[in-house]
Structure 1
């Protein structure tokens, strides 16, 4: 009789549209419960995975969440992002990691994974300590058992993602397992330039873009491949850009309207999808990247479906994609966790 493989059971908090979940699922994890409050993310998740709990996590009791072997959480990053106001823990969303701790304390899974923006590393807790130190201490001392916690600032392009996207990852392994997590080795950056990912076949869905404003469209006509707003003649700049150009030192020489070249790795995709905030402009065509092109930059497979039947849905898909964890980065971490924690357990019941 063939042995039945029992995959590690995973609970996913702040799941978004499912980038992290897909990376773990393809590594052999079984997602048994997922949650996200954002309706656009929920809609995409349901299309590709099925059921997701759409309640605010504050309204979810620990007893309603099933026992699991691993818990992942991409709690809201905007409070810690350099693109936002950087209110950190003083923003109500910045304390949502405490909700993760509440659930972890009840479930005590073998492994926990947190993902967030690099700004979290410089965020202070309400008592003046570094937030990262507070998170590590909270996890290390939990339930008199605790977790061995390692965290690292990683670049998604080191793990097969065609995007220079820096994120902080925390991996905690329950201390009674006697394991300290080792982050996977960096991979060679082969085939990650835009020219390798923009060759999308006809028939693949979601090849639609969000039209640029007339002002933005006029500006990008003057920006060459590999250039930025600094290439736009002064007389064609909007008044606010002329103000910045007049005093570049004061504004720290911002690199707005970056048009990455085909032989470059793309920059970070953001939820706003605005040329001022990310390299969303196509290398050779005067438009934003399409939804599918952004999905490829975030390493979602072409059969992962997004919703583009209305103008509102199109802009919403840029948001959920910008907030997503790149699939291949998630998969690299998932494979390392499986190898280090669950190796040899495929035919055993977990927990």
Structure 2
């Protein structure tokens, strides 16, 4: 299929009030909405969010300020019958249980079963389209009986309500205009009676120089949230001053490492050669921005200054537009909700591909 075109990165579009020509009939229920990265991208693709829900107060505060109304509450206690009818149900259910950076408890963690709450809404509303998102660890996570969780999700979607034709794919965000090598599993399910076998969009024309760290964080000095920087711990401050642009903890003199890292350095093979404290260079594409924003395990260090990226800089790397202003008293919470978000540009490309294929089929 044809490459899907994307809006320019960091555009200043009116986030919550898209122009009428972009509106479609795709009324959408959004679950686990967070700060709205997925919803924002879908809105740009023409979707109409008719209901959103989350439980995390900082995410809700930012969603309301930037996008629109959102219901605050536990998804397991939603009155599904009171929800509006919808053509689309989307849900980026909690990913920490499946993350390589998390504890990987998977379905033994209560959060690992929350995808079932999305299925309850699907069963009640029979939407045309379902979009689910998670980390790449979802593909390897197993149920207690040894079967793959992803196979269970596919089976349940195929047999929920009217039944769905399900496709899923591991996508690299930088292939779709996001300045970050962030991998995410996207599941798209189309109601079987529509007789559409969804095809994922091909990568956009690759412009490496437009996705680099240097390009992503340029011209940010006078933007909202640029002055908000989460201070490093004393240990991190001591370590990062030895790390050059493009380097990592491997550049730190052995005597300057904390004892735990000395033990790892002494036996790199045993610990699978970790690359802690990665400082991406301005000519590189950044690694994954995580919710924890720990410099040890994510690419959160500024390329030339001994600090974390600012709130605006990580928002840029996650492809949030500059018109999205992060509010609230806690700087750490802003890092968390940005790191948890689906990159809006990736969501936009997925949304455009859905609109394109539905229209092609006459819907």
For the aligned pair, the TM-score class normalised by the smaller chain equals: over 0.9
Task: Supply the distance in 2 between the matched residues of 1:28 and 1:5 (Cα, whole angstroms).
Answer: 5
CA RMSD of aligned residues (A): 1.7
Q: What is residue 31 of structure 2 aligned with on the other side?
A: 13
Which residue of 218, 231, 247 corresponds with 1:227?
Answer: 247
Partner of 1:115: helix, strand, or coil? strand
Query: Deviation of residue 6 (structure 1)?
Result: 4.8
Partner of 1:93: helix, strand, or coil? helix
Q: What is residue 297 of structure 1 aligned with on the other side?
A: 317
Is 2:319–2:345's contact at 8 Å kept on the other side of the alignment? yes
**Are 1:147 and 2:147 matched, yes or no?**
no
Partner of 2:104: helix, strand, or coil? coil
Partner of 2:196: helix, strand, or coil? coil
Q: 1:43 to 1:228 in 2, by over 3 A?
A: same
Query: Deviation of residue 291 (structure 1)?
Result: 0.2
Task: Supply the distance in 2 between the matched residues of 1:128 and 1:95 (Cα, whole angstroms).
Answer: 16
Task: Supply the distance in 2 between the matched residues of 1:87 and 1:3 (Cα, whole angstroms).
Answer: 45
Q: What is residue 97 of structure 2 aligned with on the other side?
A: 79
Task: Supply the distance in 1 between the matched residues of 2:248 and 2:254 (Cα, whole angstroms).
Answer: 13
Which residue of 165, 175, 178 corresponds with 1:161?
Answer: 178
Is 1:78–1:84's contact at 8 Å kept on the other side of the alignment? yes
**Are 1:200 and 2:215 matched, yes or no?**
no
**Are 1:284 and 2:304 matched, yes or no?**
yes
Q: 1:220 to 1:138 in 2, by over 3 A?
A: same
Task: Supply the distance in 1 between the matched residues of 2:238 and 2:79 (Cα, whole angstroms).
Answer: 52
Is 1:23–1:331's contact at 8 Å kept on the other side of the alignment? yes
How big is each residue's C-alpha offset from its partner over 1:170-199, in whole Å with a ceiling of 9 and x where there is no partner? 000000000000000112331100111111
| Residue pairs, 1:76-225, within 5 angstroms | 76-143=94-161, 145-190=162-207, 191-207=210-226, 208-225=228-245
Task: Supply the distance in 1 between the matched residues of 2:280 and 2:332 (Cα, whole angstroms).
Answer: 21
Partner of 1:142: helix, strand, or coil? coil
Query: Deviation of residue 4 (structure 1)?
Result: 11
Query: Deviation of residue 342 (structure 1)?
Result: 3.8
Query: Deviation of residue 5 (structure 1)?
Result: 6.0
Task: Supply the distance in 2 between the matched residues of 1:238 and 1:254 (Cα, whole angstroms).
Answer: 15
Query: Deviation of residue 307 (structure 1)?
Result: 2.0
Q: TM-score, normalised by structure 1?
A: 0.94
Task: Supply the distance in 1 between the matched residues of 2:21 and 2:235 (Cα, whole angstroms).
Answer: 62
List runs of 5+ in structure 2 lacking aligned partners.
1-19
Query: Deviation of residue 343 (structure 1)?
Result: 4.8
**Are 1:332 and 2:346 matched, yes or no?**
no
Q: What is residue 79 of structure 2 aligned with on the other side?
A: 61
Q: TM-score, normalised by structure 2?
A: 0.91
